Chains A and B, each alone.
Chain A
Amino acid sequence: MHGLANPARFLRLARWLLPVTLVPGLVLSLGALAWGLALAPPDHLMGVTVKILFIHVPCVWLGMAGWSTIAMASLAELVWRHPLAGVAARAAAVPGAVFTALGLITGSIWGRPTWGTWWVWDGRLTSFLILLFLYFGYIALADAAQRDAAGGGSAGRIPAIFGLVGAINIPIINRSVVWWNSLHQPASLTLGKSAIDGTYLWPLLIAALGFSLIFGAVVLARMRMLLAQVQTEARLRRKALG
């Protein structure tokens, strides 16, 4: 970990890692979606609506994985003051919010023909909507803290605390269908068990892997962008002062 504390070394690694994650991610995602959307058979009850699964499930997983990334990076920032931790958390926020929004939209489109409604205020849907609002709050807060730090203020400790506090929502989302009666069905995939037939399971898992690789690539690209931004601002400030 501390080998990567040097941003220059990290940037060299990120430059190499970016295409290594992005290209397989795109290939796997497009392949799995083509397989799932074109070849997978219709469900015995839902018909072709089942195919939304291949987009919806990877998106909601990554929406939750995105906040888990923020929480772990926030912990590293608060405790170890790792110089890249805050950058990683900020970089994960935007793709996490995008996947969360996509998960909500695709879920709504699936719900209309399956349940007979676009939206209900049950435990799972409500806690997931709160996750999207938490992302919006985190992005706004981290941007404000960044501007503050550029003006000579303390670095973003407040967003890190917010990132950790917001993580309490992740187990609530996970357990919402168990604790409360909800319209949303319980988890189909738990460790070692699957209620999804193999014809759907494989494209789903490959799509999830592909989406995750794209997510990783976007986080790396955004980390490079954020580091370049900090460098540019520091250089301009030196020029203005000197």
Chain B
Amino acid sequence: MSAAALLKPKHQRLVLVVCALAALIGAGLLAAYALSRQASYFYIPSEIVANPPDPDRAVRLGGMVEKGSLKTLADGVTVNFIVTDGKVRVPVRFSGITPDLFVEGSGVVAEGRMRGKQFSADNLLAKHDEKYVPREMRTMTESDAKQVVAQTQ
């Protein structure tokens, strides 16, 4: 008697489906692993400095807008700022209207090209983090901080 004949049809089907699912999940994981570089929406500064793209190729650069680096030029529409991933800093120049959530210390994705050491952006997207905090809470902690400062002085 063969092994298959010993199993009930129900269990045969279960074994078959489990094997098929295992093969499928393996294939999916391999595909996702192979896509790990290409499927990223943007490069972080370390990647763009280690592997500079062609000057003509449009790429996206994503990271944090460094605190204190955001400067508006005299023409009023051009901004210079530094995008950082904590290790590498890339200066970025952009002319145009910035999104409302574009502030220092928050995430940004810039679309454009590398021009030498500087990234010249055609478009800016604000990246939101996973935190949701009400406005009152935010101001309360700030005023609390001021109070603490006033008390210690």
User: Chain A interface (Cβ within 8 Å of chain B)?
Assistant: 40-47, 50, 53, 75, 78-80, 113-117, 120-123, 164-165, 168, 171-172, 175, 179-183, 185-188, 195-197, 199-200
Could you say which residues of chain B place their CB within 8 Å of the CB of A47?
Answer: 135
Compute how far the CA of A80 lies from the CA of B9 in the bound complex, rounded to whole angstroms. Answer: 9
B4 within 8 A of A: no
Considering the complex, give the chain B residue whose CB is closest to the CB of A74: B17
Could you say which residues of chain A place their CB within 8 Å of the CB of B101?
Answer: 45-46, 114-116
Does the CB pair B13–A195 fall under 8 Å?
no
Q: Can you list 29 A-B pairs, Cβ within 8 angstroms, ordered by A? A: A40-B134, A45-B101, A46-B128, A75-B17, A79-B10, A80-B10, A115-B125, A115-B127, A116-B101, A116-B125, A121-B41, A122-B41, A123-B41, A164-B21, A180-B39, A181-B42, A181-B62, A182-B41, A183-B125, A185-B127, A185-B128, A186-B130, A188-B132, A195-B129, A195-B131, A196-B132, A199-B134, A199-B137, A200-B134
Given A79-B10, A165-B24, are A183 and B132 also a contact pair (CB < 8 Å)? no
Does the CB pair A78–B99 fall under 8 Å?
no
Chain B stretch 9-55: residues in CB contact (< 8 A) with chain A: 10, 13-14, 17, 20-21, 24-25, 28, 32, 35-36, 39-44
Chain B stretch 114-130: residues in CB contact (< 8 A) with chain A: 124-130
Compute how far the CA of A128 lies from the CA of B17 in the bound complex, rounded to whole angstroms. Answer: 26
Could you say which residues of chain B place their CB within 8 Å of the CB of A114?
Answer: 99-101, 126, 128
B80 within 8 A of A: no
Could you say which residues of chain A place their CB within 8 Å of the CB of B40?
Answer: 123, 180-182
B106 within 8 A of A: yes
Q: Which of A115, A171, A185 contacts B99 (CB 8 A)?
A: A115
Closest 8 A/B residue pairs (Cβ): A116-B99, A44-B138, A122-B41, A41-B134, A181-B40, A188-B130, A168-B28, A196-B132
- Distance in Å from the Cβ of A48 to the closest Cβ of chain B? 10
Compute how far the CA of A42 lies from the CA of B137 in the bound complex, rounded to whole angstroms. Answer: 10
Could you say which residues of chain B place their CB within 8 Å of the CB of A53?
Answer: 132
Compute how far the CA of A121 lies from the CA of B40 in the bound complex, rounded to whole angstroms. Answer: 10
Could you say which residues of chain B place their CB within 8 Å of the CB of A172?
Answer: 28, 32
Q: Which of A42, A78, A117 contacts B135 (CB 8 A)?
A: A42
Compute how far the CA of A172 lies from the CA of B133 in the bound complex, rounded to whole angstroms. Answer: 28
B90 within 8 A of A: no
Considering the complex, give the chain A residue whose CB is closest to the CB of B129: A185
Q: Which of A45, A116, A180 contacts B106 (CB 8 A)?
A: A45
Compute how far the CA of A46 lies from the CA of B128 in the bound complex, rounded to whole angstroms. Answer: 9
Compute how far the CA of A185 lies from the CA of B21 in the bound complex, rounded to whole angstroms. Answer: 30
Does the CB pair B132–A50 fall under 8 Å?
yes
B65 within 8 A of A: no
**Given contacts A43-B133, A46-B128, A116-B100, could you give 7 more A-B pairs where the C-beta distance is less than 8 Å?**
A43-B132, A44-B138, A114-B128, A171-B28, A181-B41, A186-B130, A196-B132
- Distance in Å from the Cβ of B6 to the closest Cβ of chain A? 18
Does the CB pair A196–B131 fall under 8 Å?
yes
Q: Which of B13, B44, B128, B130 contacts A45 (CB 8 A)?
A: B128
- Distance in Å from the Cβ of B87 to the closest Cβ of chain A? 15
Compute how far the CA of A134 lies from the CA of B133 in the bound complex, rounded to whole angstroms. Answer: 35
Q: Which of A42, A113, A185 contacts B130 (CB 8 A)?
A: A185
Could you say which residues of chain A place their CB within 8 Å of the CB of B109?
Answer: 183
Given A172-B32, A200-B132, are A116 and B126 also a contact pair (CB < 8 Å)? yes
B75 within 8 A of A: no
Does the CB pair A168–B25 fall under 8 Å?
yes
B136 within 8 A of A: yes
Q: Which of A42, A53, A120 has the most CB of B within 10 A?
A: A120
